[in-house]
Amino acid sequence: MKAAHNGVPSLSVLDGWWLEGHVEGVTGWAIGSRDDTGAGQHDEADARSLYQSLEDAILPLYTNEPRRWTAVMRYTIALSASFFNTQRMLTEYIQYAYRL
Protein backbone atom coordinates (compact mmCIF):
# COMPACT_ATOMS: atom_id res chain seq x y z
CA MET A 1 0.00 0.00 0.00
CA LYS A 2 2.99 2.31 0.23
CA ALA A 3 2.76 2.84 -3.53
CA ALA A 4 -0.79 4.21 -3.23
CA HIS A 5 0.41 6.76 -0.66
CA ASN A 6 2.88 7.96 -3.29
CA GLY A 7 0.23 8.26 -6.00
CA VAL A 8 1.11 5.11 -7.92
CA PRO A 9 -1.97 3.63 -9.62
CA SER A 10 -2.31 -0.15 -9.45
CA LEU A 11 -2.38 -2.66 -12.28
CA SER A 12 -3.21 -6.05 -10.84
CA VAL A 13 -5.54 -9.02 -10.80
CA LEU A 14 -8.70 -8.54 -8.78
CA ASP A 15 -7.84 -10.22 -5.51
CA GLY A 16 -7.03 -9.13 -1.98
CA TRP A 17 -7.45 -5.44 -1.27
CA TRP A 18 -7.53 -4.60 -4.99
CA LEU A 19 -10.87 -6.36 -5.34
CA GLU A 20 -12.27 -3.81 -2.85
CA GLY A 21 -10.25 -0.78 -3.94
CA HIS A 22 -10.47 -1.10 -7.72
CA VAL A 23 -12.11 1.72 -9.65
CA GLU A 24 -11.21 1.15 -13.30
CA GLY A 25 -9.25 4.05 -14.77
CA VAL A 26 -9.57 6.05 -11.55
CA THR A 27 -7.37 4.28 -9.00
CA GLY A 28 -5.75 1.95 -11.50
CA TRP A 29 -6.59 -0.90 -13.84
CA ALA A 30 -7.59 -4.53 -13.44
CA ILE A 31 -6.04 -7.54 -15.11
CA GLY A 32 -8.69 -10.12 -15.96
CA SER A 33 -12.19 -10.00 -14.53
CA ARG A 34 -13.96 -10.44 -11.21
CA ASP A 35 -15.26 -13.81 -12.41
CA ASP A 36 -11.81 -15.42 -12.51
CA THR A 37 -11.47 -18.34 -10.13
CA GLY A 38 -8.46 -20.51 -9.44
CA ALA A 39 -4.90 -19.26 -9.48
CA GLY A 40 -2.98 -20.02 -12.63
CA GLN A 41 -5.98 -21.13 -14.65
CA HIS A 42 -6.30 -17.93 -16.66
CA ASP A 43 -2.67 -17.11 -17.45
CA GLU A 44 -3.19 -16.52 -21.18
CA ALA A 45 -6.30 -14.40 -20.67
CA ASP A 46 -4.57 -12.41 -17.94
CA ALA A 47 -1.57 -11.82 -20.21
CA ARG A 48 -3.86 -10.56 -23.00
CA SER A 49 -5.69 -8.33 -20.52
CA LEU A 50 -2.39 -6.95 -19.19
CA TYR A 51 -1.04 -6.05 -22.62
CA GLN A 52 -4.40 -4.66 -23.76
CA SER A 53 -4.61 -2.40 -20.69
CA LEU A 54 -1.07 -1.17 -21.22
CA GLU A 55 -1.54 -0.56 -24.95
CA ASP A 56 -5.06 0.89 -24.94
CA ALA A 57 -5.31 2.79 -21.66
CA ILE A 58 -2.24 3.16 -19.48
CA LEU A 59 0.58 4.07 -21.87
CA PRO A 60 -1.51 6.50 -23.97
CA LEU A 61 -2.73 8.20 -20.79
CA TYR A 62 0.78 8.44 -19.35
CA THR A 63 2.46 9.68 -22.53
CA ASN A 64 -0.28 11.81 -24.13
CA GLU A 65 -2.41 13.13 -21.27
CA PRO A 66 -0.23 14.19 -18.35
CA ARG A 67 -3.04 16.12 -16.63
CA ARG A 68 -5.34 13.10 -16.65
CA TRP A 69 -2.46 10.89 -15.46
CA THR A 70 -1.90 13.31 -12.58
CA ALA A 71 -5.63 13.14 -11.79
CA VAL A 72 -5.39 9.33 -11.57
CA MET A 73 -2.44 9.74 -9.20
CA ARG A 74 -4.48 12.14 -7.04
CA TYR A 75 -7.47 9.79 -6.97
CA THR A 76 -5.15 6.95 -5.99
CA ILE A 77 -3.95 8.94 -2.99
CA ALA A 78 -7.42 10.21 -2.10
CA LEU A 79 -9.30 6.93 -2.44
CA SER A 80 -6.85 4.05 -2.04
CA ALA A 81 -4.32 5.52 0.37
CA SER A 82 -6.88 7.13 2.63
CA PHE A 83 -8.97 3.97 3.00
CA PHE A 84 -6.49 1.09 2.71
CA ASN A 85 -4.00 1.84 5.47
CA THR A 86 -2.55 0.32 8.62
CA GLN A 87 -4.81 2.27 10.97
CA ARG A 88 -7.96 0.89 9.34
CA MET A 89 -6.50 -2.61 9.18
CA LEU A 90 -5.63 -2.65 12.88
CA THR A 91 -8.95 -1.11 13.89
CA GLU A 92 -10.88 -3.74 11.96
CA TYR A 93 -8.66 -6.54 13.20
CA ILE A 94 -9.23 -5.53 16.82
CA GLN A 95 -12.97 -5.10 16.30
CA TYR A 96 -13.50 -8.39 14.49
CA ALA A 97 -10.90 -10.56 16.21
CA TYR A 98 -11.60 -9.40 19.72
CA ARG A 99 -15.22 -8.28 19.21
CA LEU A 100 -14.65 -4.90 20.90
What's the one-letter identity of residue 19?
L
Residue 24, phi then psi, degrees to nearest 5: -50, 125
Is a pLDDT exceeding 80 seen at residue 74?
Answer: yes
Residues 6 or more apart from 28 whose CB is under 8 A from it? 9, 10, 11, 12, 18, 22, 72, 76, 80
Distance CA 88, CA 93 (A): 8
Report yes or no on whether pTM surpasses 0.75.
yes
pLDDT tens-digit readout, 5-50: 899 999 999 988 888 889 999 999 999 887 755 556 788 999 999 9
What's the confidence (pLDDT) of residue 66?
A: 97
